[in-house]
Chain A
Amino acid sequence: MAYHRITTTINGATDVVDVPSNMTLLQMLRDKLALTGTKNGCAAGECGACTVLFNGEAVNSCMVLAVEADGADIVTVEGLAHDSQLDPLQELFVSEGAVQCGFCIPGMLISARALLDRRPNPADHDIRDALSGNLCRCTGYVRIIKAVKEAAKRGHAEPA
């Protein structure tokens, strides 16, 4: 099977990686680069635990080939914090008590980040719609949605 040398930017740093044709982006992140924040829930596009930003868009990394990330800009949950400063979404997930076992949370955070980037002032139904591909077995979603709402408000309060 063919291998491909790809150059990809992950959380701001450029990496050169050799990947086999059949490796998914999720496998590359977890197994080759030890970025295990991104979770493998179903490996079938159903659960959203593997969500990452691919050129700014939320995708299921289990449904993307690693080789397709050649030249792409990838952000995983490890890349949300900057200079030891958590993303407001991360802070609010904690303060709102939106996290239980935590397995779904990296995907939730990335989907929520993608939403706030494209729609800084989302309506409730926008939040539900944006997170509908992220399944959580623990929380019942109420506090997760509240945390995203609060983060959106805070985003508006702060100067850009």
Chain B
Amino acid sequence: MLTAHPGLPEFDYIKPKTLAEASAFLAEHSKDARIFVGGTDVFVRMRDGFWKEKYLVDVKGLEGMKSVSFDPRAGLTIGAAVNMNQIAESAEVKAHYPLLAEAAHSVASFQLRSRATIAGNICNASPAGDTIGAGMVFGGSLSVHGVGGFRREPLDGFFLGPGRTQLQAGDVVTAVHLPLPPKGAAGKYIKLGRNNIGDLAIIGVTALGWRDGETPSGYRFRIALASVAPVPLVPVAAEKILAEKPITDAVIAEAANAAMEAATPIDDVRGSARYRKLMVRNLTKQAVAEVWGRIQ
């Protein structure tokens, strides 16, 4: 048969019935098994020949993976198999974490978002992942089931490099947690793409700000930058400026400059390193100014 596009290479589809079974199988086949949920990263990497796993392990059906729940004392829990459309449309997410709904909605197209997940976006550990920034500025963490049982992994420190994380052989992320947002917080995600739809970010800026009586400026900001370093980047110097100096347009510009200085992007097909750096400055300024306008 004539096919214009290569199909997927050979592999065996495995569907474990329990988390214990999934972790045991993944640990035993650490070299040649891979988890998938939506498969939107996995299938592309397999088809393009970058990944050659013998087993693809579908963990969508496992207990507790499909629900989103909000607890007014503890925050948000997103099952690892919850898709991006569910997040973008969830009344609770829109009410308490509109920044996350915005970031989820910015991913690809509707059809892709019915498959793509936030857990997959995080575990894929691409510095371009659109929802990682929201996870980081809210101080999120992961529930992970490994061969030794359950543990929590904070997103802070989770990313080691492109595609590399703290996850070990046998680990299955079961949920993403976001603590309660700071009182009165406002957020903004600005994604610079080549078009308005379905493209990875050339750069992305996530900003969250709130009033904070303990900082000299009276405010605190959390910022995360996408596609400007080997891992999602927190420009700590920029956050520090916004906490310490009384906020004015000039101080926001200074913080945006510090974000640009922290960025170490690469040249690639989507944009040059120089363009990326300049856009980090411009869009950080825009995102912070907008958030500040809403929390003053």
Binding site for B on A (CB under 8 A): 1-2, 4, 20-24, 27, 31, 40, 42-46, 48, 51, 54, 57-60, 63-65, 67-68, 111, 114, 129-130, 132-134
Give Cα distance in the complex from A54 to B110, angstroms: 13
The answer to whether residues A43 and B5 also contact, given A65-B13, A65-B39 and a CB cut-off of 8 A, is yes
Complexed CA–CA distance, A68 and B40 (Å): 14
Identify the 4 closest CB pairs spanning chains A and B, nearest first.
A133-B109, A43-B5, A21-B13, A132-B197
Q: Please report the number of residue pairs spanning A and B whose Cβ atoms sit closer than 8 angstroms.
A: 88
State whether A46 and B198 are in contact (beta carbons under 8 Å apart), knowing that A31-B1, A54-B114, A59-B115 are contacts in the complex: yes
Residue B44 lies at the interface, judged by CB distance under 8 Å to chain A: yes
**Interface residue B10 (Cβ < 8 Å from any Cβ of A):** yes
Chain B interface category by residue count: 20 to 34
* Given contact pairs A43-B47, A63-B40, A1 touches B10 in the complex (Cβ within 8 A): yes
Q: How far does the alpha carbon of A58 sit from the alpha carbon of B112 in the complex, in Å?
A: 9
Q: Which of chain A's residues have a CB closer than 8 A to the CB of B198?
A: 46, 132-133
Chain A residues whose C-beta falls within 8 Å of the C-beta of B44 in the assembled complex:
44-45
Residue in chain B with minimal CB distance to A45: B112
Whether, in the assembled complex, B43 has its beta carbon less than 8 Å from a beta carbon of chain A, the answer is yes
Complex Cα distance, B191 from A115, in Å, reads: 25
In the bound complex, do residue A133 and residue B108 qualify as a contact, i.e. CB atoms below 8 Å apart? yes
Q: Are B40 and A2 in contact (CB under 8 A)?
A: no
Q: Does B58 contact A (CB under 8 A)?
A: yes
B residues in contact with A48, CB < 8 Å:
109, 111
The reply to whether A45 and B108 contact each other, CB–CB distance below 8 Å, is yes
**A-B contact list, 5 entries, CB within 8 Å:** A22-B13, A45-B44, A63-B43, A63-B115, A133-B111
Asked if residues B111 and A22 are in contact (CB atoms below 8 Å), the reply is no
**Would you list which residues of chain B between 111 and 150 have a CB under 8 Å from chain A?**
111-112, 114-115
Which B residues fall within an 8 A CB radius of A? 1, 4-13, 38-40, 43-44, 47, 56, 58, 85, 108-112, 114-115, 196-198
**Docked CA distance A60–B113 (Å):** 10
**Inter-subunit contact A22/B112 (CB<8 Å):** no
B110: which A residues are within 8 A, CB to CB?
A: 58, 111, 114, 129-130, 132-133
| Closest B residue, CB atoms, query A118 | B89
Contact across chains for B5 and A40 when beta carbons are under 8 A apart: yes
- Look across to chain A and name the residue whose beta carbon is closest to the beta carbon of B38: A63
Contact A1 B111 (CB under 8 A): no
Contacts of A132 in B (CB 8 A): 109-110, 196-198
**Complex CA distance for A99 and B54, rounded to whole angstroms:** 43
Identify the closest chain B residue to A2 (Cβ): B12
The reply to whether A59 and B12 form a contact with Cβ atoms under 8 Å apart is no
Q: Kindly report which residue of chain A lies nearest to residue B42, judged by CB atoms.
A: A63
Kindly report which residue of chain B lies nearest to residue A66, judged by CB atoms: B13
Residue of A at shortest CB range from B196?
A: A132
**CA gap between A40 and B5 in the complex, in Å:** 9
Q: How far is the CA of A66 from the CA of B137 in the complex (A)?
A: 38
| A60 CA / B44 CA spacing, docked (Å) | 13
Q: Which residues of B contact A46 (CB under 8 A)?
A: 198
Contact partner of A63 (CB less than 8 A), chosen from B85, B112, B197, is B112
CB distance from A76 to the nearest CB of B (A): 14
Set of chain B residues within 8 Å of A23, measured between Cβ atoms: 7-8
Question: Which residue of chain B lies nearest to A64 when distances are taken between CB atoms in the complex?
Answer: B115
